[in-house]
Amino acid sequence: MTLEAVATRNARASPKSTAIRIVLLAAGSGSRFGGDKLEAPLSDGTPLVLATARGLLAAGGAVLAVVRGARDRDGQGAARLLRALPDIDIVPCAGAAQGIGHSIACGVRHSADANGWLLALGDMPFVRPETIRRLLDALAGGASLVAPCHGGRRGHPVGFSRRWRSSLLRLSGDIGARRVLAANPDALMLIDVEDAGVLLDVDRPADLARGA
């Protein structure tokens, strides 16, 4: 049985699959960073993707991490680090190199029984667990689309109810889920948070210390 088949079986068999799933998007190449940034250490020495995942797990979420395909040697770092964490499912995405849209569709497809999805970027380790909990609670309470807002700016992660499953499965390329948000502004619930981490992603090595 292939790694992809095992991941599919485990994700579908997990009792968490009926809950809101957090899809950790950890399949990026880090081209602007100049290397595999997901393995890069933060100021305390914690690898970037590991810090992000720990924050999501601390919020009590059911996490499914989408990583690059098994044949991509450069993509094994994130998968190797994440396998050390308990209670996290890992799914390799063969089409990840084609853009984040493919990774989102892959994560949604491998959690078909979920009631909704919170899409979390692997390079945003500074989001507080309490912010994640508020977003999860909003989805569980019936929100259709939900996102955090800090200082008047919309941030990440962004949540989608099951209503949007077909739209998420059709995503491809580099556009990601923002096209769904842009097309449905009246359905979006913005939650004001005192958490600057929802706006802080890591694009360059200097960004690793931004949340210190």
For residues 56-78, give the mean pLDDT: 78
What's this model's pTM, rounded to 2 decimal places? 0.85
CA-CA distance, 40 to 35, in Å (whole number)? 9
Angle of helix 48-58 versus helix 129-140 axis, rounded to 10: 50
Q: Using an 8 Å Cβ cutoff, are 47 and 86 in contact? A: no
pLDDT of residue 126: 94
**Residues 79-109, buried b or exposed e (16+ Cβ, 10 A)?**
bebbeeeeebbbbbbebbbebbbbbbbbbbe
User: Using one digit for the tens of pLDDT, what is the confidence trace for 94-119?
Assistant: 888 888 999 999 999 999 899 999 99
Alpha-carbon torsion (108, 110, 113, 118), positive or negative: negative
Question: Which of 74 and 147 is assigned the larger pLDDT?
Answer: 147
In the CATH scheme, what architecture does the domain 3-206 have? Alpha-Beta Complex (3.90)
So what's the pLDDT on residue 39?
A: 85
Token pair for residue 105? 């569709």
Residue with more model confidence, 9 or 42: 42
Residue 208 has pLDDT above 80, yes or no: no
pLDDT digits (tens, 9 = 90+) for 70-102: 544 444 578 889 988 988 999 999 888 888 999
Q: Where are the domains positioned within the chain? A: 3-206
Mean pLDDT of 133-137: 96
